[in-house]
Structure 1
Amino acid sequence: MLSPVFLAHGSPFTIFEKSEFTAFLNRFGKSVRPKAIVIFSAHFESPITTIAATDDIHEMEYDYYGFPPEYYQVQYPARGSAIVASIVEERLRKHNIPVQRKYRGLDHGVFPIMRHAYPEADIPIVPVSVNAFLPARQQIAIGEALQGLEKDGILVIGSGFLTHNFNEFDRNIDAPPRAWAVEFTAWITEKVLARDIEALSNYETLAPHAKKAVPRAEHFVPLLIALGSGTPGHEARVLYDEPIKYGSMSNLSYQF
């Protein structure tokens, strides 16, 4: 099923990791085989929705610091698709969403998870930017403009995290989950499964501990975009869940 998904993207460590999460990504890639992927990454930010259009093999964006040398040598030679980029641009313009084309390579919201899901790099990828400062309802509207792309074999992915607060990050992977993180992620899951667009549009005021869980929204808005791109009436479901790690980090992933 090519229904849109929100995937936690892990950290740069995910590149070489062997874990329950990367095993899930591998299973996902074997069960979902799109003709092309449109991915909204938390690490590709722009005030205007920006499409990285190319037919060439993507460049690599090593947008992280302080890792061993091998983390800056990894390659993921997927191609882009100018045709799919044009489809996305046309859809957005029809919905009066400002859009531009400007090339940017694959960042660590993309290639670490794609290496596990599609290790052969044989599926074209079209990266699209996010704007953390747009209201939540506008984020969902960006996704709504892309509803039905699965009919053309195109998978929409939002890549981010439900919670992303490094001030609450514990270096101990087995640190007890923060109560606020448990409550926030439970609320989000409840509203996602109910497709409660109204509540999720107002998560900043309605969700418990929203300001602590989402101090800056770039990692959260890919969820809203992916949610909006799902076909109304389709059942939303949890794709992957595991206990919260590092005190506050959740790899919760959904399908819409």
Structure 2
Amino acid sequence: MAPMDTFYISHGSPTLSIDETIPAGQFLRSWKQNGFPQKPNSILVISGHWDTSVPTVNSVSGTLSTIYDFYGFPKSMYKLKYPAPGAPALASRVKDLITAAGIPRVDVDPARGLDHGAWVPLMFMYPEADIPVCQLSVQTGRDGRYHFDMGKALAPLREEGVLIVGSGSATHNLRDLRNTVDGAVAPWALEFDTWLKEALTQGKYEDVNRWEEKAPHGKRAHPWPDHFYPLHVAIGAAGADSKAKVIHESWQLGTLSYASYQFSTN
């Protein structure tokens, strides 16, 4: 099996799960038809919705629960399920790889299910819910380089049939969302998103690691970097010599970018 590509998916609003008019959801629904990776033997998701002080993996035997980590949305969303099997063997492998890379402590959660940063995109990408899934947390007290290096530690998984998916949002300032009649994108958000696309597609990964000083409007695009650091893990796992490709671009509410990327060494 050729090494798996890695991905960064902008999952945006939780309403992606039920609103069929959102272009990003339409893109994810056509995941297999668009020729994305052969069916992996397991999936590792780094989600912006799991932030811990040290790297933590969920190691669940049996079916993963569906976590509804959002509030005030339509009742139908709380009835959705993604009953994928857990991946305790993958969780153990992830812990060993990260520890071997010099991070001394990796915690294991034996009960945590999938938050919506994981199950919403996966329910479209692999709707059969028959692939074992493991989640890995981010540490917002650390920086981009730390998460890139954590991704580097996970690189061997690509040759073991594991699909590594970072799930977040290319821009994520929930206090600056806006309803516009013409769908106009805020200039600051477009400038950041354009910078990110150019940096990634030109292989300037170190600039992305140092986004707080390199990117225009970086702190406005990501006041809290939980939804950005899954990108750094995906890049690191693919490697500094990988090629980035834009696989989807769309916007919602004027400032929320659904830009998504594929990282390949093939």
Q: Distance in 2 between matches of 1:134 and 1:173?
A: 38
Structure 2 residue 67 is the aligned partner of structure 1 residue 61:
yes
Counterpart position of 1:47? 53
Q: Distance in 2 between matches of 1:145 and 1:101?
A: 17
Structure 2 residue 112 is the aligned partner of structure 1 residue 91:
no
Structure 2 residue 24 is the aligned partner of structure 1 residue 21:
yes
Counterpart position of 2:221? 213
Q: Which segment drifts farther, 217-226 or 230-239?
A: 230-239
- Quote how far apart the aligned CAs of 1:23 are: 2.4
Q: Among the aligned pairs, what percent are the same residue?
A: 33
Q: Distance in 2 between matches of 1:144 and 1:166?
A: 30
Q: Which segment drifts farther, 193-202 or 102-111?
A: 193-202
Q: Distance in 1 between matches of 2:175 and 2:196?
A: 21
Q: Distance in 2 between matches of 1:9 and 1:74?
A: 16
Q: 2:148 aligned to 140, 147, 163, which one? A: 140
Q: Distance in 1 between matches of 2:230 and 2:181?
A: 25
* Unpaired runs of at least 5, structure 2: none
Structure 2 residue 255 is the aligned partner of structure 1 residue 252:
no
Is the alpha carbon distance of 1:71 and 1:245 closer, same or farther for their aligned partners in structure 2, counting shifts above 3 Å? Answer: closer
- TM-score, normalised to structure 2, is 0.91
Q: 1:203 aligned to 182, 207, 211, which one? A: 211
Which digits, 9 at most, give the CA deviation of each residue in 1:18-52, with x for residues without a partner?
Answer: 24322221222453221110001111111110000
- Quote how far apart the aligned CAs of 1:193 are: 1.4
- Quote how far apart the aligned CAs of 1:192 are: 1.1
Is the alpha carbon distance of 1:8 and 1:147 closer, same or farther for their aligned partners in structure 2, counting shifts above 3 Å? Answer: same
- Quote how far apart the aligned CAs of 1:175 are: 3.1
Q: 1:82 aligned to 82, 85, 88, which one? A: 88
Q: Distance in 1 between matches of 2:25 and 2:182?
A: 18
Poorly superposed stretches of 4+, deviation over 6 Å: none
Structure 2 residue 197 is the aligned partner of structure 1 residue 189:
yes
- Quote how far apart the aligned CAs of 1:173 are: 7.3
- Quote how far apart the aligned CAs of 1:174 are: 4.5
Amino acid at match of 1:7: I
Amino acid at match of 1:38: L
Is the alpha carbon distance of 1:167 and 1:205 closer, same or farther for their aligned partners in structure 2, counting shifts above 3 Å? Answer: same
Counterpart position of 2:236? 228
Q: Distance in 1 between matches of 2:236 and 2:184?
A: 33
Q: Distance in 2 between matches of 1:167 and 1:72?
A: 24
- Quote how far apart the aligned CAs of 1:233 are: 2.7
Q: Is the 8 A contact 2:60 2:112 kept in 1?
A: no
Structure 2 residue 8 is the aligned partner of structure 1 residue 6:
yes
Which digits, 9 at most, give the CA deviation of each residue in 1:212-249, with x for residues without a partner?
Answer: 1111100111111111110343321111112x321111
Q: 1:111 aligned to 110, 114, 119, which one? A: 119
Aligned-residue RMSD, C-alpha:
1.5
Q: What SS does the corresponding residue of 1:236 show, helix, strand or coil?
A: strand
- Quote how far apart the aligned CAs of 1:70 are: 1.8
Q: Is the 8 A contact 2:12 2:257 kept in 1?
A: no
Matched residue pairs, number?
255
Which digits, 9 at most, give the CA deviation of each residue in 1:92-138, with x for residues without a partner?
Answer: 01001231101311111011111111111011110111111201111
